[in-house]
C-alpha cells in the first residue's frame, strides 16, 4: 500500500474538506467558505466566471454546486462530450460556471464553497479538485496592450518546427506569453471535444499548449510533426499576461494548414467502459485505425489517468504496450511513442487494461482511465492513393469493407450487407451500430437496431441489408462499388461510392416480400433529440421530436430528408431517385422508456415504411446517402435541396 502524498481538495463523503482537517486544515476555511486569496478589481468589469479543475473520482457523485460569498448555489454542468449519465464515467474536466458580478465585491475577502449530493451508490460521494480559477473580464479598451503573434500569416503552411514570436511596442509590460492553437488533436481537456483551443490547466498552470516564453522576443518553437491531419483550418493566438496579472488575447492567425511528406491520423476511441478503474476488472474499449498498417511508421498513445502506479498493463490487440508508472493517488498524463507497431489492424483495434490484483491481501485503488479513454495517433507515409478507395478491415469483430472518401468513411458489413458506421471528417459516427444488446426493445436503439439501409424485414431473409446479420455475401467490384447478394439469392443490390455521396441500386427483389430503406442512427454522432433537427423536400429545418416509444410518429410522402445536430458541421441526407406515393416515417427511439430523454437511442427514418413496421416497396429502386453542409436556416435548406435535385438529374443522365 502506498500513502497519499499529493494535495487536492475533496468534496463529499467522509473526507470532505469541511470535516476532515487531516486532509484540509480547518484554518483554511470558515464553514466551508475558502478565500480566493486575491483582491478583486471590479471597475469596468463586464462578466465573471469560475473554472474548476474537477476529477469525478467516485462514480454516481452528482449535484456539484458552487457558492460565491454566500449567494445562491450555482449548479456545475456535466462535461458535454461524456455519455449520459456522465456521473457513471471517470473524467477530469474543466467546467466553467458563470458568476453574476453582483455576487462579488471589490477588494479582498471573496470566498467560494463547494458541495455535492449526499447520496451515492456505496455512500461515498466524492469529487476532487486541483484548482479553482476566478476570471474577471473587462472591455478590451479598458486595458489596451498592443500585441500580435509574429512568424505566421493567414493561409501559411506550418513548418515542422514552427517559430512563433510576439510583436509589441511595450515588451517591458509583459510577464509571460502562452501560445495556443485551435485545431484537432488529443483531447487533454477530458470533455470529448477534439477540435478546440488546445490547452488546459493543472493547479492553475497552463499545459499542453504550443509553448511559453517569459522574455522578449517571447520566442517558442512549435513541433508540428505529430499534429494530426486537419479537417479544417488551424488558428494560432497568444495569451499574453502583463505584470498586473491581466491576460490579453491576441487576434488569431487563421487559415493555417499542414503541408508535409507524411500523414498523422488521430484515431478516436469508442465504446469506452463506464467506471474505467482497473481494480474492477480487465476492461476494454476500441479504436478505429483508418490508415493502412502497411504504411505505418510509428504511433503515439495518449491518455489521462489517476493513480497509474496501480495499473497492470495497457494492451493493443493483446500486445502489452505499457505496464505501470508513478504516481499513486494523483493525476497523470501519458504519451507513449512506439516505432513500427506491427500489431495494428486496419479498422477496429482492441484497447484493454489488465486487472489490478490484491496487494498484501487488500484491494488497492487501481488506475482510473479518464474520459475519453486511450487515444492513438498514427504516422504514415502512404503512396499516392485515389480519393475514393475500398479496403478490407474489421469492426465489432466482423469483416468489413472500409470505404474512404474525402467527405466520409463508410464501414460496410460484408455479411450484413449494410452500413454499420458513417464517420465524418470530424470523427462523428452518424450510425453507431454495435451488436450488444442484440434485438432488445428499446435497448437496442443504442446498438443493434442501427444501420443503413436495413432493407429486409419480416421474411426468412430478414436482416439482409442490416449490419450485424449474416444474410449476405458481399464482393468488391471495379469502379469503387460493392455488391451484396442474399444467401438465398432472392435479393441483390450494389453500392457505388463517390467523393461526396453514395448510391444504392436495388437490382433484385423477392417477389413475395416488400422492403424499405431505413436510416437508423445518430445525427451528429449522439442521441440528443432536443439539439437535433431534420428537414425534407416539404420544408426545414424542423425542430420536431416525435417519440416512437410513446407512440408518436410522423408519416408523410417525402422525396428526400436530412438530419443534423446543432454542433455538427454537416447533415446526413437520404434521397430516393424515383418519386412515389408510399408512406415514409420519422421518429426518435430512446433506449429506455424515457424516450426522448433516454441516455441513448437513434433516429428512425424510413422510405416506404407504414405504421406498424410494415415495409411497402416492391420494385427496383435507387437511393442516395451523403453528408452536406449543416442546415442552419431556410437558405441552407434551399441550397441542400438544389444539390439533391442536381444529384438526381446527374444520375438520371448517367442511367
- Is the pLDDT confidence value at 655 over 90? no
Give the span between the Cα atoms of 89 and 387, in whole angstroms.
Answer: 38
- Is the pLDDT confidence value at 594 over 60? yes
Average pLDDT of the chain, as a whole number:
95
- Is the pLDDT confidence value at 483 over 50? yes
Q: Average the pLDDT over 330-350 and give the result.
A: 95
Over residues 273-329, the pLDDT tens digits come to 999 999 989 999 999 999 999 999 999 999 999 999 999 999 999 999 999 999 999
Quick one: pLDDT at residue 442? Answer: 98
517 contacts: CB under 8 Å, gap ≥ 6: 453, 454, 455, 504, 574, 576, 606, 607, 608, 617, 621, 623
Is position 3 within any domain? no
The tally of domains found in the chain comes to: 4
Q: Average the pLDDT over 248-275 and give the result.
A: 95
Quick one: pLDDT at residue 98? Answer: 98
Task: Single out the residue in 231, 258, 285 at which a domain terminates.
Answer: 258
The answer to whether the CB of 435 falls within 8 A of the CB of 426 is: no
Give the span between the Cα atoms of 581 and 617, in whole angstroms.
Answer: 10
Is position 370 within any domain? yes
Q: Which CA distances in Å does 205 have to 4, 5, 208, 376? A: 22, 20, 10, 25
Quick one: pLDDT at residue 547? Answer: 98
Quick one: pLDDT at residue 287? Answer: 96
What does the block give as the cell for 327?
Answer: 504516481
Q: Average the pLDDT over 165-185 and give the result.
A: 97
Q: Average the pLDDT over 619-629 and give the result.
A: 97
Over residues 595-605, the pLDDT tens digits come to 999 999 999 99
DSSP state of 19: T
Is position 143 within any domain? no
What band does 1 get if pLDDT is binned at 50, 70 and 90?
very low
Task: Single out the residue in 138, 164, 190 at which a domain terminates.
Answer: 138
Residues 129 and 154 in one domain: no
Q: Which helix (H) or strand (E) holds 223?
A: strand 220-223
What does the block give as the cell for 431?
Answer: 450510425
Is position 466 within any domain? yes
Distance of CA 451 to the CA centre of its chain: 20
Residues 182 and 99 in one domain: no
Quick one: pLDDT at residue 498? Answer: 97
Over residues 453-468, the pLDDT tens digits come to 999 999 999 999 999 9
- Is the pLDDT confidence value at 346 over 60? yes
- Is the pLDDT confidence value at 7 over 90? no
Q: Which domain CATH number covers 42? A: 2.60.120
Quick one: pLDDT at residue 2? Answer: 46
pTM of the model: 0.92
Residues 164 and 207 in one domain: yes
Give the span between the Cα atoms of 53 and 61, in whole angstroms.
Answer: 16
Pairing of the two strands 174-184 and 211-213:
antiparallel
Task: Single out the residue in 138, 167, 186 at which a domain terminates.
Answer: 138
- Is the pLDDT confidence value at 142 over 80? no
Percentage above 90 pLDDT, the chain: 93
Residues 459 and 362 in one domain: no
Is the Cα torsion angle 295, 300, 303, 306 positive or negative in sign? positive
Residues 122 and 269 in one domain: no
- Is the pLDDT confidence value at 653 over 80? no
What band does 6 get if pLDDT is binned at 50, 70 and 90?
low
Q: Which helix (H) or strand (E) holds 462?
A: none
Residues 64 and 187 in one domain: no
Quick one: pLDDT at residue 39? Answer: 94
- Is the pLDDT confidence value at 654 over 80? no
Is position 2 within any domain? no
Q: Average the pLDDT over 527-555 and give the result.
A: 97
Amino acid at each position: 500500500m502506498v500513502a497519499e502524498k499529493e494535495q487536492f481538495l475533496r468534496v463529499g463523503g467522509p473526507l470532505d474538506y469541511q470535516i476532515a482537517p487531516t486532509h484540509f486544515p480547518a484554518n483554511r476555511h470558515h464553514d466551508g467558505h475558502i478565500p480566493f486569496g486575491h483582491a478583486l478589481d471590479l471597475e469596468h468589469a463586464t462578466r465573471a466566471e469560475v473554472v474548476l479543475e474537477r476529477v469525478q473520482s467516485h462514480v454516481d457523485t452528482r449535484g456539484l454546486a458552487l457558492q460565491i460569498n454566500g449567494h445562491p448555489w450555482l449548479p456545475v454542468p456535466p462535461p458535454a462530450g461524456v455519455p449520459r449519465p456522465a456521473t457513471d464515467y471517470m473524467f477530469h474536466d474543466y467546467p466553467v460556471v458563470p458568476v453574476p458580478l453582483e455576487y462579488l465585491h471589490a477588494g479582498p475577502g471573496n470566498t467560494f464553497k463547494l458541495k455535492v449530493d449526499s447520496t451515492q451508490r456505496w455512500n461515498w460521494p466524492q469529487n476532487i479538485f486541483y484548482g479553482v480559477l476566478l476570471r474577471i473580464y473587462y472591455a478590451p479598451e479598458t486595458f489596451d496592450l498592443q500585441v500580435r503573434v509574429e512568424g505566421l500569416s493567414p493561409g501559411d503552411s506550418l513548418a515542422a518546427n514552427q517559430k512563433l514570436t510576439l510583436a509589441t511596442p511595450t515588451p517591458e509590460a509583459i510577464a509571460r506569453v502562452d501560445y495556443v492553437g485551435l485545431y484537432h488533436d488529443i483531447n487533454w481537456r477530458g470533455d470529448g471535444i477534439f477540435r478546440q483551443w488546445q490547452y488546459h490547466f493543472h493547479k492553475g498552470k497552463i499545459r499542453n499548449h504550443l509553448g511559453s516564453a517569459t522574455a522578449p522576443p517571447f520566442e517558442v518553437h512549435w513541433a508540428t510533426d505529430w499534429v494530426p491531419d486537419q479537417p479544417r483550418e488551424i488558428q494560432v493566438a497568444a495569451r499574453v499576461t502583463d505584470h498586473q496579472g491581466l491576460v490579453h488575447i491576441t487576434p488569431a492567425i487563421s487559415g493555417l494548414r499542414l503541408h508535409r511528406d507524411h500523414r498523422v491520423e488521430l484515431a478516436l476511441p469508442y465504446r469506452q467502459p463506464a467506471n474505467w478503474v482497473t481494480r474492477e476488472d480487465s476492461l476494454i474499449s476500441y479504436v478505429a485505425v483508418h490508415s493502412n498498417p502497411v504504411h505505418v511508421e510509428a504511433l503515439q498513445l495518449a491518455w489521462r489517468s489517476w493513480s497509474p502506479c496501480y495499473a497492470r498493463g495497457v494492451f493493443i490487440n493483446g500486445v502489452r504496450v505499457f505496464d505501470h508508472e508513478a504516481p499513486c493517488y494523483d493525476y497523470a498524463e501519458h504519451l507513449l511513442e512506439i516505432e513500427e507497431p506491427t500489431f495494428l489492424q486496419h479498422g477496429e483495434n482492441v484497447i484493454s487494461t489488465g486487472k489490478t490484483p490484491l496487494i498484501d491481501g487488500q484491494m488497492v485503488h487501481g488506475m482510473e482511465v479518464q474520459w475519453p479513454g486511450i487515444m492513438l495517433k498514427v504516422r504514415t507515409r502512404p503512396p499516392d492513393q485515389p480519393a475514393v478507395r475500398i479496403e478490407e478491415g474489421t469492426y465489432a469483430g466482423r469483416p468489413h469493407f472500409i470505404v474512404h472518401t474525402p467527405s466520409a468513411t463508410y464501414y460496410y458489413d460484408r455479411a450484413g450487407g449494410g452500413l454499420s458506421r458513417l464517420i465524418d471528417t470530424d470523427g462523428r459516427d452518424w450510425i453507431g451500430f454495435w451488436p450488444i444488446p442484440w434485438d432488445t426493445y428499446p435497448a437496442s436503439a443504442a446498438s443493434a437496431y442501427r444501420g443503413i439501409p436495413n432493407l429486409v424485414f419480416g421474411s426468412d431473409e430478414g436482416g439482409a441489408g442490416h449490419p450485424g446479420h449474416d444474410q449476405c455475401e458481399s464482393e468488391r467490384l471495379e469502379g469503387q462499388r460493392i455488391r451484396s447478394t442474399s444467401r438465398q439469392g432472392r435479393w441483390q443490390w450494389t453500392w457505388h461510392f463517390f467523393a461526396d455521396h453514395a448510391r444504392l441500386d436495388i437490382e433484385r427483389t423477392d417477389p413475395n416480400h416488400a422492403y424499405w430503406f431505413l436510416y437508423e442512427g445518430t445525427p451528429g454522432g449522439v442521441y440528443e433529440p432536443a439539439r437535433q433537427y431534420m428537414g425534407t423536400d416539404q420544408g426545414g429545418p424542423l425542430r420536431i421530436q416525435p417519440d416512437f416509444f410513446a407512440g408518436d410518429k410522423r408519416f408523410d410522402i417525402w422525396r428526400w430528408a436530412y438530419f443534423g445536430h446543432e454542433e455538427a458541421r454537416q447533415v446526413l441526407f437520404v434521397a430516393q431517385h424515383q418519386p412515389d406515393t408510399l408512406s415514409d416515417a420519422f421518429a426518435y427511439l430512446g433506449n429506455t422508456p424515457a424516450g426522448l430523454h433516454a441516455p441513448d437511442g437513434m433516429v428512425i427514418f424510413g422510405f416506404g415504411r407504414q405504421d406498424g413496421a410494415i415495409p411497402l416497396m416492391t420494385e427496383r429502386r435507387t437511393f442516395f446517402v451523403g453528408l452536406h453542409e449543416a442546415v442552419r436556416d431556410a437558405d441552407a435548406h434551399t441550397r441542400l435541396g438544389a444539390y439533391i435535385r442536381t444529384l438526381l438529374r446527374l444520375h438520371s443522365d448517367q442511367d
